A and B are shown apart, each in its own frame.
Chain A
Amino acid sequence: MILDIISAVLILLGGVLSLAAAVGMLRFADLLSRMHASAKPQVLGLIAVALAIALQYPNWATVTTLAIIISFQLVTIPVATHMVGRAGYRTKHLRRSMLYRDELAEAVDRAEAREVAWERRKGIGTDHNDG
C-alpha cells in the first residue's frame, strides 16, 4: 500500500511538472523562454512516471523497456530542442531585449567577415588569372 502511495506521489509530480510547463507556455513571452519551460515534463516528468511504473511492476521486461524509453527521450530531446532553437534564431523569433549576452552573434559576425575576406581574395585570384 505504501508503494501505491509512492507511485501516486510520483505521478502527481509528473502532473505538477507538466502543469508548470503549460503555465510557462502560457505566460512566457519568448520562444527561448518557452523552450526552457517545455523541457521539464519531457524528461523529469517522464522519469517520475517511469519510476512509478517500475515500483508497481518490478520485472525485467517492464524495467528494460522503461530504460529504453528514458534513454531514447534523453538522447532525442536535446537534438530536437537544439534544432527548434536554431530555427528560431535564424528566423529571428527571439527578443533581443531579453538576452543578457548573445554569443552566437559574435560567431556570426566572425563568419561573415571571413566570407567577405574570402570573396575578396577570390576576386584577386580570378583577375590575376585573366591578366
Chain B
Amino acid sequence: MSQIVLDTLVFVASVLLAASAIIALYRIVRGPSILDRMIATDVVLASIMCGLGGFMALSGRTDLLPVLVVLAMLGFVGSVSVSRYVSKSDSMTPGAEVGSLSDFSSLDWHMPTESTGDGEGQDDAKTRPVEESENEEPWPDDVARGIYDSPDGPDAITVQPDEEPVTVGLDQGADPDAGAAGEGLGTGPDPGPDDSDDGARTPTETDDEDSAREADDAARESDDEGGGRR
C-alpha cells in the first residue's frame, strides 16, 4: 500500500518537474529579451537541481552532491555575466550620450557633494587629478571623443549648428552686449571665456536656455547668466 503511495508521489513529482522544465524552455524560446531568457534558464536549472536531488534521495547516489554545487554556481555565474553584458550594452544605445547618467565612470564616485563648497580647489586637486590635467590640456583627443567641453575646442565644427539660433535670438533682443558676445564667438583667434559660456553648451544648459527664452525679459536674463558665469 505504502509502496503504491510512494510510487505515485514520485511519479507526480517527476511529471511536475518535467512540465516546469518544458514550460520554462518555451519561455526561453519566446522570451522578448535576453533577461527573460536568463530567468527562464534559471528556472530550468532549478528544475534540474530539484530533479537531481530527488533522484539522489530515492536512489542513494549521494556521490552526485558536487553536481548540485556545480549547477548552483553555473546559475549564479550565468545570471551575473549576462546581466553585466546587458548593462554594458545599454550605453551603446543611440539615446545615451557620453555625459548622460547611464554612463558611469570611476570619476563619478569622487563627485564632491554640495556642502564642500569652501575647499573646492583642494578637493578638486585631491580627488580628481585626471580632471585637472584635462583642464590644462583639453584637446584634441578628449574633444574629439566628446568627453570634454573645451572652451578652445573646435566649436566651429561641433557646436556651431547648435549655437546659431542662440545668437539670432540674442540679436533680436537688440542688446548691444549680446550682439558683441555673439560676434566674438567664432571670429577671434583667442575666443576666451565667452566661448566657454555660449559655445560649449551641454544639453543640461540648453534647458536653462529654453526657460530663459520663455521668460518675458529674455535678453537681460541671458546677460545676467553670462555675467554670473564670467
Contact = CB atoms under 8 A, between A and B. Distances in A.
Interface of A: 1-2, 4-5, 7-12, 14-19, 21-23, 25-26, 31, 34-35, 38, 41-42, 45-46, 48-50, 52-53, 55-57, 61-62, 65-66, 68-69, 72-73, 76-77, 79-81, 83-84, 86-88, 90-91, 93, 108, 111-112, 114-127, 129-131
Given A14-B53, A42-B46, A120-B205, 6 more contacts: A11-B54, A19-B17, A31-B36, A38-B42, A87-B35, A93-B33
Contacts of A4: 2, 6
B14 interface: yes
A31 B27 contact: no
B33 A57 contact: no
A61 B126 CA distance: 54
A25 to B, nearest CB: 5
A11 B230 contact: no
Given A12-B9, A73-B72, A123-B229, A22 B23 contact: yes
B interface: dominant SS: helix
A interface: dominant SS: helix
A40 to B, nearest CB: 8
Interface size range on B against A: 35 or more
13 contacts: A2-B2, A8-B58, A10-B57, A11-B58, A38-B42, A42-B43, A45-B49, A46-B50, A69-B65, A69-B72, A83-B80, A91-B33, A125-B121
Contacts of A124: 229
Interface stretch (B82-90, B162-170, B177-185): B82-90
Interface string B32-65: 0101101110110011011001101110101001
Interface of B: 2, 5-6, 9-10, 12-17, 19-24, 26-27, 33, 35-36, 38-40, 42-43, 46-47, 49-50, 53-54, 56-58, 60, 62, 65-66, 68-69, 72-73, 75-76, 79-80, 82-84, 86-87, 90, 101-102, 108, 111-114, 117, 120-121, 124, 131, 135, 151, 192-193, 196-197, 202, 204-205, 229-230
B39 A49 contact: no
A18 B57 contact: no
Nearest to A111: B101
Contacts of B76: 76-77, 79-80
